[in-house]
Structure 1
């Protein structure tokens, strides 16, 4: 198992590597969303089609504020409140937001929305802050298999050279719920 400390993990992200890390409910795979070759490594590891898109993870509402600009005030406030209170609810919320030109097309795939989650998971917050940007967040599992719940499961699923940032999962019993900010539709309850 190739475990790293936080600074090493950030350096690997900047170098275009894939990183496995614990999130609120399951282990995730992440990379720098601006580096297409890193993103393609995740797709290969997961055997996932690019059309599906992935979630971008941020440590702060301020970082994603520009993506909220096109929404009306009421829905913007609802989104912000859901992110601020997700720790108390123990379940994170991912919002599908209108696509911005700052987000590469490979991130949102065949969709006209980009999935964004502001995390309350301490290690994920530290990782995004140290990286100084959003990171890709998709479950650490090959397509068709259950998401990894431990670092050992990640190591069993993927090659031994995959970088792993060790830590504990959050208290969420299931992955984030996903809501469409434009239509109000519940994508994942």
Structure 2
């Protein structure tokens, strides 16, 4: 089977495939998701198979309207409603208690909670509306690899494994949504994203980060908490923004006869691009939104298009506000390794 590409004018065809239990990758403002009918257990299981995803890693349910949440969640009000009013549609996932038996254990990982998000992408909300069902949507990539921010990234990983890809151009945010758990007394951020802790606290008051380490025997409440994520095949090392030791790192790699890739902003590339074998720009200097948008694309580009590289050095940023989301993904891609 060769995976098909659908344009925004072919949403009806993509929605029909969803209704038939097929898998359709779809665009969002964050990354491309791998869509299946969330109410069809057989279809949901296909998602895990296509990605090679562990079965205890829960899936986020994507919706087109608040009405689509009601069948699954008791008493959608209070902090849930306030956050939805301020941030939906948008890159915020809310982990909510679900009605017993309302949603498959294949979606929740066997938990009594599920994550819900309304993406800020008109094409995908139309897809959900035309399909008439909520759709699960983990990132549309091979499990553990950098998340896809373009339709071509999806095709690279999943061609022949899924029915089609609904192409609406590159993702504008580039990192997955912020995930907040509202099932307890105090809201907990399970995964940082472009919507920050301070922005959420301005709406609902005190919020904390989930600090506990998920055990091997434990089912995580959110993707990105337990398993290896975002890792290309090539070795990735971080260059500490405070040390600015690019020259030392390049010299060391050259002494080891290694071919070097560099992912950094335009000012750093201007200084060092002639000394390395491949580069990818994170955008202009000090532009965090551009760096987030280009991180996964850069990791994929150097890993897939320059396969002979031995090491890729990547620029770090301060772990404040949205920089925390960038560093959360980069640290996992680099297995926590700084040069």
Pick from 38, 61, 70 the counterpart of residue 56 of structure 1: 61
Residue 103 of structure 2 is aligned to residue 98 of structure 1: no
Q: 1:147 corresponds to which residue?
A: 147
**SS class of match (2:62):** strand
Q: 1:41 corresponds to which residue?
A: 46
- Please state how far the C-alpha of 1:8 moved relative to its aligned partner: 0.8
- Please state how far the C-alpha of 1:99 moved relative to its aligned partner: 1.6
Q: 2:177 corresponds to which residue?
A: 176
CA gap of 1:27–1:60, structure 2 versus 1, over 3 A, is same
**SS class of match (2:138):** strand
Contact 1:54 1:138 in 2 (8 A): yes
Q: Unaligned regions of 5+ residues in structure 2, if any?
A: 193-339
In terms of mean alpha carbon deviation, does 161-170 or 135-144 score higher? 161-170
Contact 1:60 1:119 in 2 (8 A): no
Q: 2:211 corresponds to which residue?
A: none
**SS class of match (2:61):** strand
CA distance in 2, matches of 1:169, 1:67: 31
Deviation digits for residues 61-105 of structure 1, max 9, x if unmatched? 12213445336x43133232243463xxxxx10000102232112
Pick from 21, 30, 37 the counterpart of residue 32 of structure 1: 37
**SS class of match (2:69):** helix
- Please state how far the C-alpha of 1:177 moved relative to its aligned partner: 0.3
CA gap of 1:66–1:160, structure 2 versus 1, over 3 A, is closer
Q: 2:13 corresponds to which residue?
A: 8
Runs of 4+ in 1 over 3 A off after TM superposition: 65-71, 82-86
Residue 83 of structure 2 is aligned to residue 79 of structure 1: yes
- Please state how far the C-alpha of 1:166 moved relative to its aligned partner: 1.4
Q: 2:324 corresponds to which residue?
A: none
| Pairwise CA RMSD | 1.9
CA gap of 1:180–1:46, structure 2 versus 1, over 3 A, is same
CA gap of 1:20–1:62, structure 2 versus 1, over 3 A, is same
CA gap of 1:67–1:75, structure 2 versus 1, over 3 A, is farther
Deviation digits for residues 111-132 of structure 1, max 9, x if unmatched? 2210100222111111111111
Matched residue count:
183
CA distance in 1, matches of 2:89, 2:117: 13
- Please state how far the C-alpha of 1:34 moved relative to its aligned partner: 1.8
Q: 2:156 corresponds to which residue?
A: 156
Q: 2:319 corresponds to which residue?
A: none
CA distance in 1, matches of 2:174, 2:151: 17
CA gap of 1:47–1:137, structure 2 versus 1, over 3 A, is same
**SS class of match (1:51):** coil
